[in-house]
Amino acid sequence: MSKAYDESSVTVLKGLEPVKERPGMYTRTENPTHIIQEVIDNAADEALGGFASEICVEICPDGGIEVSDNGRGIPTGLHPVEQISVVELVFTQLHAGGKFNKKDGGAYAFSGGLHGVGVSVTNALSKRLQVAVKRDGKISTIAFENGFVAEPLQEIGTCNLKDTGTTVKVWADGKYFDSPNVSLPELERILRAKAVLLSGVKVILKQHINGEITQKEWHYPDGLSGYLNDLIGENIPAVPTLTVERYFDEDVDDFAQGEGAAAALSWIEEGVASGESYVNLIPTPSGGTHESGLKQAVFTAVSRFIQHHNLLPRGVKLQSEDVFAKVAFVLSARMLDPQFQGQTKEKLTNRDALKLVSTALADTIELKLNHNVEAGKKIAEISIRQAQARMRSVKKIEKKKGSGVAVLPGKLTDCESEDIRENELFLVEGDSAGGSAKLARDKATQAILPLRGKVLNSFEVHRDQLFGNQEIHDISVAIGVDPHGIDDAVDLSGLRYGKIAILSDADVDGSHIQVLLLTLFYTHFPKLIEHGHIYVAQPPLYRIDVAAQGKSKPPRKFYALDEGELSAVLERLRKEQVKESAYSVSRFKGLGEMNPDQLKDTTMHPDTRRLLKVAPIMDKQAMNAIFTKLMGKGEAAARRQWMEEEGDKVVADI
């Protein structure tokens, strides 16, 4: 590496060179969908301002994607300062656009575009980009290749004065992206959302399939509520969808005329409640301050309703998360000057957006609740139930805390690493086996929690009563996750281990302990199974020691998981013509009989162990039926009948 560092060492990237040099700073590089979205957003901004009534996207057979609108058309005249055509300027210069001056009669009052960066990034990362503009009775075109003008602006015809609009056709350059093709599902979601949020605007997607053009149109006569009902799918709302909207008619406090928000809200008792949010039609998948404002508005409105109707039980204190935990929503905020985190605009960061949405919607939501008291009472019931569950959980955990922090079990031998991608916790049967496992482990990444005796059958134990069992309490605190249900919105950020392995003896008692622990995780920690964190270690049942066979073959040692593997090993030795007197077979009574080296080689070392990931192999209803039959306290008769019918299939370990 050259050691010279002088004035010539400094490089200045001009025009669109910064985008080509570091495309990940300006767009998502998984595929070109986002650079196409930038063009769609410009068309949507025309519609948002009331200047366009149709947006059409066409996926062409030649690999290009064409976006057209019937808005005002990009100006084609010379820029008064730069002295090049405006249409060329906005596609070739970063931070050039018509959306900066919004308060003093600018071209756009509300827009998703902010920095004048969007379509210039699209141009920079495209092999070719063509623009056709209808404006002032003229049709003009310009083309770019690799970000530079390839065909200068030229007038190619005339049109009616009222016939205006812009058409942009993009051929993305695959070398800048992991995949050269746009994501069709994501593109459809973007267009569908535009149709929902732009009342009266027709949104079309055209595709060429087998030589024929197929066309999709999106139209939501019910607006946000219709879209939300599509999002929640089969989940049945507890109350009819609540739709609220308010835009300020004049400047109010810190907000400008036209700013405000609209939202559709549904309370879901079963299943996961999810939401989508937008700012000036731009999707914000990472949320932001406008979502915080909606959460505050809902909490304020529901709290006032509960207080007004005297519905809050004694001793229950409502929190924002209690009210919003079961809310599925679509939020559309309109702001004069939104500020996003990054060019991809995935998260809104304006501090005043929280106040804007909260101020605009809180009173409106409360008014709706008081107009439909039964729905309001149902929402209050759901919120209070969430608060009571939270308070029970907090109360239980506080009993197990010292100095305000959850105390790790004293018998837990923890690992040094804090990276859950490599951390492993072994739940070991008995203190004896636990001692061997502690000596066999890799102390950097492997933790050991010995369990005393058999864990409680927790299948029919209420979640509130779980921590009455010390072993279950220790497991929960050690892994850093609270008990939960399959449909709960559980926080797994406290998870301390990426792999949680059940390590028990390879006998009937060991299998029973496995079943009890799997019942615990299936019933009360299902998200750990769903995300692939639960494993079962498979220690061997047999060891085969083979004496040395002359100078060429030193002593060998084999391990067998069960009778089948033992038979296979013995068959192999017979084929090698090893005499029966030259080898011996021993059976492990339990993990405690293994010395640390044996336990490490067979069960704990990542390169030589057998570790099975636990995953459901059938639907939830069938799984519940099996667990009920095997673990239900009132199912003794069913179990007896099952054993009588299936008992001849059992391979007994006697």
H-helix or E-strand spanning residue 387: helix 373-399
Indicate which CATH number applies to the domain containing 205: 3.30.565.10
What does the pLDDT average to over 285-294? 89
End residue of a domain, out of 155, 187, 218: 218
Across the chain, mean pLDDT equals 83
348 has pLDDT over 50:
yes
Q: Token match 């101020």: residue?
A: 359
Asked whether residue 281 falls in the same domain as residue 172, the answer is: no
Among 215, 260, 208, 231, residue whose Cα is nearest residue 54: 215
Residue of 66, 259, 291, 505 marked catalytic:
505
Is residue 183 in some structural domain? yes
Asked whether residue 198 falls in the same domain as residue 271, the answer is: no
Asked whether residue 41 falls in the same domain as residue 73, the answer is: yes
Count of the separate structural domains present in the chain: 2
Question: Tell me, what amino acid is at 278?
Answer: Y
Asked whether residue 241 falls in the same domain as residue 209, the answer is: no
More confidently predicted of 342 and 266: 266
Asked whether residue 166 falls in the same domain as residue 312, the answer is: no
Asked whether residue 165 falls in the same domain as residue 235, the answer is: no
Query: Residue 99's pLDDT is what?
Result: 47
Query: Residue 403's pLDDT is what?
Result: 38
What does the pLDDT average to over 254-270? 87
Q: Cβ(355)–Cβ(254) under 8 Å?
A: yes
Q: Answer positive or negative: Cα dihedral of 18, 24, 25, 27.
A: positive
* Residue 1's pLDDT band (cuts 50, 70, 90): low
Is residue 484 in some structural domain? no
Query: Residue 173's pLDDT is what?
Result: 93
What does the pLDDT average to over 519-532? 90
Asked whether residue 194 falls in the same domain as residue 239, the answer is: no
Q: Is 69 a catalytic residue?
A: no
409 has pLDDT over 60:
yes
Q: Is 322 a catalytic residue?
A: no
End residue of a domain, out of 164, 186, 218: 218
* Residue 399's pLDDT band (cuts 50, 70, 90): very low
Q: Distance between CA atoms of 170 and 144, rounded to whole angstroms?
A: 10
281 has pLDDT over 90:
no
Task: Mark 454-472 as b/e (b = at least 16 C-beta within 10 Å).
Answer: ebbbbbebebeebbeeebb
Residue of 429, 471, 474, 482 marked catalytic:
429
Residue ranges making up the domain that contains 368: 223-399
Summarised one tens digit per residue, pLDDT across range 52-61 is 989 999 999 9
More confidently predicted of 310 and 349: 310
Is residue 318 in some structural domain? yes
* Residue 331's pLDDT band (cuts 50, 70, 90): very high
Query: Residue 470's pLDDT is what?
Result: 84
* Residue 117's pLDDT band (cuts 50, 70, 90): low
Q: Token match 């492993």: residue?
A: 424
Is residue 317 in some structural domain? yes
Asked whether residue 142 falls in the same domain as residue 274, the answer is: no
640 has pLDDT over 80:
yes
Is residue 510 in some structural domain? no
Q: Is 505 a catalytic residue?
A: yes
Query: Residue 123's pLDDT is what?
Result: 92
What does the pLDDT average to over 557-568? 83
What does the pLDDT average to over 155-173? 93
24 has pLDDT over 60:
yes
Strands 424-429 and 446-451, sheet pairing? parallel
Asked whether residue 201 falls in the same domain as residue 305, the answer is: no
Residue of 507, 562, 601, 635 marked catalytic:
507
Tokens representing 632 are 């239900």
What does the pLDDT average to over 428-433? 78
Query: Residue 352's pLDDT is what?
Result: 82
Asked whether residue 78 falls in the same domain as residue 194, the answer is: yes
Specify the range with the lowest mean pLDDT, choosing from 132-146, 180-194, 382-396.
382-396
Asked whether residue 325 falls in the same domain as residue 180, the answer is: no
Q: Is 507 a catalytic residue?
A: yes
DSSP assignment letter at 29: -
End residue of a domain, out of 383, 399, 415: 399
Indicate which CATH number applies to the domain containing 362: 3.30.230.10
Is residue 487 in some structural domain? no
Q: Distance between CA atoms of 447 and 411, rounded to whole angstroms?
A: 11
Residue of 17, 136, 487, 509 marked catalytic:
509
Residue 77 CB neighbours (<10 A): 11
Query: Residue 501's pLDDT is what?
Result: 92
Asked whether residue 154 falls in the same domain as residue 188, the answer is: yes
What does the pLDDT average to over 570-586? 86
Q: Distance between CA atoms of 470 and 294, rounded to whole angstroms?
A: 41
